[in-house]
Amino acid sequence: MNNLTLYLLISAVLFSFGLVGVMMRRSLIAILVSIELMLNAASLNFMAFNKFLSPDTSIGQIYTLFIMGIAAAEAAIALSIFLALFRQLRSINIERARELRG
Amino acid sequence: MNGGVLSQGLLPQLAFIVVVGITFCGAIIAVFHRNILYNVLGLALALCGVAGLYVFLGSLFIGLMQLLIYVGAICIAMVFAIMLSRPVHLPKPKRKVSKMATSIFAGLLILGVNVGVIYKTAWQPASERKLDWSVKTIGDFLLTRYVLVFEVISLVLLVAMLGAIIISRYNGRTS
């Protein structure tokens, strides 16, 4: 269990789940959930490289912390946008939000 | 905390398999279940699994931060948003088979490319490595070399909070 490839494989599978979710789901909150999965796959990659390859094992942890902060900001903004959209459309289905469609 | 105790023996391997299983089960629930509340709870499960993986990767601190920020804050905020917008009671249209097939095909394609890259690359560790896992070093780096990023992230969080409050108070009738 102590090798890099295993962690990278786990992270690749998580990323693919997130991608499938983003492409398949129509509810905006489900898409946000999938995006969080993809961000976690990226953080897991950072931590794996940090443990096995990096010259300084603090830096990967710091980057993971930064990703968490950005994810928190993104989730706050996205959820408030969903609330505003729900008030407007009475739905959070992404296919109903076509006001800006060209 | 450097993962030494978690690297040998049968019991840690079993624990590792359980943690990976929790992660994948959570991810499957988060992506494929129809009920949106279960999606968020599955995401929480997957994030707990990833926190366990962080502990296996030698950083208890990041694992605890993951539990605190992701599971404790982001998932709870999502549950609140679901409660406020009540999408659970809305009628759910059926999924289109073509869309599912396309997305699963794209996911498998990306997975294949990623696995190919992982196996083709000869990963080489850095020539000299400083194996310092202490939280003190992280704090030192955050306030010396990465202080700009740290401050910018705090600014981003502040702006995000203000923007979230303003956007969610705006009721859409003034336009």
Substitution target in A6, A24, A91 with the highest count of B β-carbons within 10 Å is A24
- ipTM of the complex in this document: 0.89
Q: Residue A78 sits in which domain range?
A: 4-96
Specify the CATH number for the domain of residue A40: 1.10.287.3510
Task: Name the token pair of B35.
Answer: 């009920």
Query: Based on the structure, what is the number of domains in chain A?
Result: 1
Q: Chain B contacts of A57, Cβ < 8 Å?
A: 58, 129-133
The minimal CB distance from A66 to the residues B153, B164, B170 is found for B153
Question: What letter does residue A100 receive in the DSSP assignment?
Answer: T
The pLDDT assigned to A13 comes to: 94
Alpha-carbon separation of residue A8 from A3, A51, B42, B59 (angstroms): 9, 12, 22, 17
Interchain proximity B107–A51, CB inside 8 Å: no
Interchain proximity A70–B23, CB inside 8 Å: no
Domain contains A24: yes
Q: Chain A contacts of B153, Cβ < 8 Å?
A: 66, 69-70
Give the bridge partners for B130, in sequence order.
Answer: A56
Domain contains A58: yes
Q: Chain A contacts of B138, Cβ < 8 Å?
A: 58, 61-62, 65
Residues in chain B: 175
In this predicted structure, the answer to whether residue B59 has a pLDDT above a threshold of 50 is yes
The pLDDT assigned to B8 comes to: 63
CA distance A54 to B4: 18
Question: pLDDT truncated to tens, each residue of chain A (102 aa)?
Answer: 468 899 999 999 999 999 999 998 888 889 999 999 999 999 999 999 998 888 888 888 999 999 999 999 999 999 888 888 888 877 777 777 777 766
Query: For B17-26, what is the mean pLDDT?
Result: 94
Domain contains A9: yes
User: Residues near B84 by Cβ (< 8 Å), separated by ≥ 6?
Assistant: A83, A86
